[in-house]
Amino acid sequence: MSHDRHGLAMTGASAAAVRHYDRAIDELLHFRAEVDAEAGAALAESPGFPMGNVLVAYLGLLTTEVEDARTARSRFGAFLRRTEGADLLPRERAHVAAVLALLDGDFLACGSLLAELTAEHPRDALALAVGHQIDFFTGDARMLRDRVGGALNAWPRDDPHFGHLLGMYAFGLEECGHHDRSEEAGLRAVELNPRDVWAIHAVVHTYEEQGRFGTGLRYLDARLPDWSRGTFFNVHTWWHYCLYALESGDLPRVLSIYDAVLADGQSCLELLDAAALLWRLHLEGSDQHARWQALADRWPARVAEPFYAFNDMHAVMSYVGAGRIGEADKLVAEREAYVTRPRPGVTNHGMTLRVGLPVCRAIVAFGRGDHDAVVDLLWPIRHRIAEFGGSHAQRDAVQRTLLESALRAGRRDLARVLVSERISLRPCSPYNWLKQAALADAVGDGAAAAVARVRAADLARAGGAAGTVGPVE
């Protein structure tokens, strides 16, 4: 019997395998690519090591890539055949059950099993980290907060990974709207571990949700060496940097970062960041045809099979942005066929049916200029789009599409509601005031439009002094 660094018992692992496993967990919490090598090294030392096999399976399943999931299914199946009848510890059996649920596409069951596990073993860092990602994929803000919050008091404050938990908790607090508490927890987590990119990301989200884009730029500038390289999360943080730069009106800066960092994305996570950024420009009439074409070329293999509706949306954005409406129509038709067959326990089926398809249809309608259709598709689901995952910041692309189409379709009452909601929540956002100006123009109130534009310009100037670092220093 061996134990991991947090005192949890494990079977089937040599001392060397345990060392590699502990390093892998540390790399995972730091979002570093070395997690794969350390996990592989643990299995090379002890091929039948249950927690090592569980870790490798989770790593393959959490990329939201179909091919990675297929490989994980094959490898984990081989592990189960080799260890059939083995006497696993209850915690190990619980992890195996969670992996099997995830292999079956049941994100919700996996998340529930991991929540039960951490109630009994609150210092299981792997269960907490994987459960946190499941909550993100399913858009469950309450569990993003409470899964980790319910474990925090079991962790000694001097544990090297306590800060990582605090960073996860900060993100959950932000997604639940507890912005002051989120900022406090996130800043403390970064103080404990300056290279905790998830905690940095939580702070960045908090500033985004409050419209504090100047503060966000200055924060990222000051911490550039800690987040901008060396992890598989740096592209996403650069995406956040670009959102701040967009608010300040610095389009050249945004495109410079896009070309230096986002344009060469390889994973689904990186491709959807690229699509989400270009879509914001598309909504504002910025023609990025060449960039769209290059991005659209990378999606077909990744959405050839239904796997995660959130990815589908960004693929459709890329096709529409590139003017390849036929490819967008084809993907929508494939997903329509997918949902006609009942698939009990497959979380993505419900996501696609309830949210993914309406959003994808709306994006295609936007591409065709049918803005009434966009409003009719998105207005009824605007308060439940969290069901197909992502964060508030990521899903704001959908809310902006609805607002833009409401303005273009002349649906002024709905546009007024949407603009009022945005300004009431983020009164320091230049984008929100520019939409107020567009609405005022639509109703013929030139004076109000002028006031809103001045307000937007003043806010942009106030935050625009930040954001002076280069994307690849």
What digits encode the pLDDT tens for the residues 4-42?
999 999 999 999 999 999 999 999 999 999 999 999 999
Q: Which residue has the tokens 């060496």?
A: 225
Hey, what are 107's tokens? 């994100």
Check residue 256 and give its pLDDT: 97
Q: Which residue, 91, 118, 113, 84, is CA-closest to 100?
A: 113
Query: What is the rounded distance in angstroms from the CA atom of residue 258 to the CA atom of residue 130?
Result: 29
Cα-only R_g, the chain: 23
Check residue 370 and give its pLDDT: 98
- C-alpha 337, offset from chain centre: 27
Check residue 470 and give its pLDDT: 42
The mean pLDDT of 108-124, rounded to a whole number, is 98
pLDDT band at 251 (very low <50, low <70, confident <90, very high): very high
Query: What is the rounded distance in angstroms from the CA atom of residue 244 to the CA atom of residue 464?
Result: 9
Check residue 83 and give its pLDDT: 84
Hey, what are 285's tokens? 């009439």
Query: What is the rounded distance in angstroms from the CA atom of residue 63 to the CA atom of residue 56?
Result: 12
Hey, what are 289's tokens? 């045809």
What are phi and psi for residue 324, nearest 5 degrees?
A: -100, 65
Q: Which residue, 399, 391, 385, is CA-closest to 279?
A: 399
The mean pLDDT of 175-196, rounded to a whole number, is 97
Q: Which residue, 233, 280, 226, is CA-closest to 255?
A: 280
- Calculate what percentage of the chain has a pLDDT beyond 70: 98
Pairing verdict, β 9-10 and 2-3? antiparallel
Check residue 84 and give its pLDDT: 79
Query: What is the rounded distance in angstroms from the CA atom of residue 156 to the CA atom of residue 154?
Result: 7
Query: What is the rounded distance in angstroms from the CA atom of residue 125 to the CA atom of residue 123?
Result: 6
Count of Cβ atoms closer than 10 Å to residue 35 Cβ: 21
* 103 Cβ contact partners less than 8 Å away, ≥ 6 residues apart: 57, 61, 69, 72, 73, 76
Hey, what are 27's tokens? 């790399």
What are phi and psi for residue 361, nearest 5 degrees?
A: -60, -40
Three-state secondary structure call for residue 304: coil
**Whole-number mean pLDDT of the chain?**
95
Is there a contact between 31 and 2 (Cβ–Cβ < 8 Å)? no
Q: Give the chain's length.
A: 473
Hey, what are 422's tokens? 């945005």
pLDDT band at 70 (very low <50, low <70, confident <90, very high): very high
pLDDT band at 464 (very low <50, low <70, confident <90, very high): low
Is there a contact between 190 and 199 (Cβ–Cβ < 8 Å)? yes
| Gap between the terminal Cα atoms of the chain | 47
Is there a contact between 289 and 319 (Cβ–Cβ < 8 Å)? no
Query: What is the rounded distance in angstroms from the CA atom of residue 402 to the CA atom of residue 237?
Result: 25
CA distances (Å), origin 333, targets 310, 357, 372, 379 = 16, 9, 21, 22
Three-state secondary structure call for residue 212: coil
Check residue 468 and give its pLDDT: 45
Residue 473 has pLDDT above 70, yes or no: no
Q: What is the DSSP letter of 159?
A: S
The mean pLDDT of 371-397, rounded to a whole number, is 97
Query: What is the rounded distance in angstroms from the CA atom of residue 200 to the CA atom of residue 220?
Result: 8
| Helix intervals (H) in 104-233 | 107-120, 125-137, 141-149, 162-175, 179-192, 197-210, 213-222, 224-227
Count of Cβ atoms closer than 10 Å to residue 290 Cβ: 9
Q: Which residue, 195, 173, 198, is CA-closest to 184?
A: 173
Residue 467 has pLDDT above 60, yes or no: no
The mean pLDDT of 78-101, rounded to a whole number, is 92
